[in-house]
Chain A
């Protein structure tokens, strides 16, 4: 069996990235869109950790920052969503339509 190289990780990360982008662009539920964004961030983390194999620890430290930031972003995002839900009673992106796109 061939050893798992950095390239393999990169391919997985790229796949996650594409999944995330497609999710953001096609899914209609705001919470799912939020999760898709998290997916992209995880792709980023995977990349950083994989590159750390070549370039050293820096990438891993960076990925910790990314994880922390993702948490902060999710917290604020859900808060915003709740405020929105109180006004509109929906989490469907299609109904986010008071302002024309």
Chain B
């Protein structure tokens, strides 16, 4: 080997730039290898603990990345800067919370733990990679790593018909969406001659934009829109959320979404995507409206939150229509706040659902305020945050998104947004009404909150309040990260 080829090989610092992914993969593989070796009865707790350590190590690795100078690695395939580290931390923290929630869930549902934890970690690898990838090929691969893991996880209660059905639906529509995305990528390659986002951006910025690029952006947007459950590509969401295991719903409604939003931000802003404004305008308005209207009539809390997640994808997209300087930090802040409150919601749901996920209708929540005050109080906190009541992260996120939109003179969209958030309050309140203002149907006490779940609730509750009371630091960080993106 000549010295010149040696120099082109990745340097040490380049491995640091994918350190969280390496850590997560390593722990995932260890879990897969250990699974057949350990005793069935003890495997759940032990493998879960390993997975938890893995996710904590990944958080630490993401933190460590902040110490290193930002830059690209592996022949400009990934770029680690404040922007991607922000999403790394969101994704890895969500992963840790989901694993904490799953401890008890796996026991109660009597599921085999081995592949479960491994798949969660592998999914997180894909999501982390997505947020740092600056190359469409790698984005595609990362997207697939995360998607394929979640397809399987959605059907993890495989003896339950609705779970495997939700998995089939998720898989079919998800791979259909991926195919759209890929077709868009191929056309973009044709239009600009590159798959690197920076180079695409240069080309599109320099000369007249070929028609092909518009088509490409539209197709990529369709594909990514599917993944974040934005209307009109949202039809799969309620079904999949209803059937999939509750902690996994918490996972896939937050972490992959955050990662795909990161990709969208890169594709739309860094690549100077043409014609983005109207595309986003329409999709955001539709998502908010259809999501909120759909949620009004739901009786199953998982379906209700599925529609709510559609609506929230809409609010988030409002930020995409705004000016980059305020829109990008707004979107980043929103993903973090949404991740905190939604993963918390599903932590409560997965605990309360009990064996076989029996208790998932709104009626079941009647009188929860009396039967388990702590559970009800935390769920109320998350729901208030979803409504957007002050001192919660959800309020500030919405506030910042709408102020970014107003700054960009998007008055119409902002008005649709704020009216929608007033409508949306109704269905979240229905849950609170059930918990506090109805008599319980059954007096059996709710199972006590185990340590893992308690930790999960504490983390997400703390994050929700922190982002609401002292949003300054996170906001500053998001701003400095957004500045790098342009």
Contact = CB atoms under 8 A, between A and B. Distances in A.
A and B touch in the complex (CB under 8 A): yes
Interface of A: 10, 13, 17, 20, 24, 30, 33-34, 37, 40-41, 43-44, 47-48, 50-51, 54-56, 58-59, 61-62, 65-66, 69, 72-73, 76-77, 79-81, 83-84, 86-88, 96, 98-101
Given A24-B176, A44-B186, A62-B189, A101 B235 contact: yes
A81 to B, nearest CB: 6
A40 B141 CA distance: 17
A78 to B, nearest CB: 10
A51 B179 contact: no
B165 A101 contact: no
A98 B36 CA distance: 34
B242 interface: yes
B10 interface: no
Given A10-B190, A77-B151, A87-B160, 7 more contacts: A34-B175, A47-B186, A55-B189, A58-B195, A69-B144, A80-B164, A84-B165
A44 B190 contact: no
Contact of A76 (B148, B186, B242): B148
Interface string B219-244: 00000000000000001001100110
A56 B152 CA distance: 36
A65 B168 contact: no
Nearest to B143: A69
18 contacts: A10-B190, A33-B172, A40-B179, A47-B190, A54-B193, A55-B193, A58-B189, A58-B194, A62-B137, A76-B171, A79-B152, A80-B168, A84-B165, A86-B158, A87-B160, A88-B161, A99-B238, A100-B239
A83 to B, nearest CB: 5
Contacts of B162: 98-99
B159 interface: yes
Interface string B159-184: 11110111111011001101110110
Nearest to B168: A84
B186 A51 contact: yes
A35 B141 CA distance: 20
Interface in B134-149: 137, 140-141, 144, 148
B183 A88 contact: no
A66 B175 CA distance: 12
A100 to B, nearest CB: 7
Given A65-B140, A87-B159, A101-B235, A96 B165 contact: yes
8 smallest A-B Cβ distances: which pairs?
A40-B179, A47-B186, A99-B239, A55-B193, A51-B190, A87-B161, A84-B164, A44-B182
Contacts of B137: 61-62, 65
Interface of B: 137, 140-141, 144, 148, 151-152, 155, 158-162, 164-169, 171-172, 175-176, 178-180, 182-183, 185-187, 189-190, 193-195, 235, 238-239, 242-243
A27 to B, nearest CB: 11
B256 to A, nearest CB: 16
Nearest to B166: A99
Of the listed residues B148, B162, B175, the one surrounded by the most CB atoms of chain A closer than 10 A to its CB is B175
Contact of B175 (A17, A37, A79): A37
Given A40-B183, A41-B179, A55-B189, A98 B161 contact: yes
Nearest to A43: B183
A34 B175 CA distance: 9
A101 B294 CA distance: 12
A98 B165 contact: yes
B175 A77 contact: yes
A64 B183 CA distance: 15
Contact of B176 (A37, A51, A100): A37
A94 B193 CA distance: 42
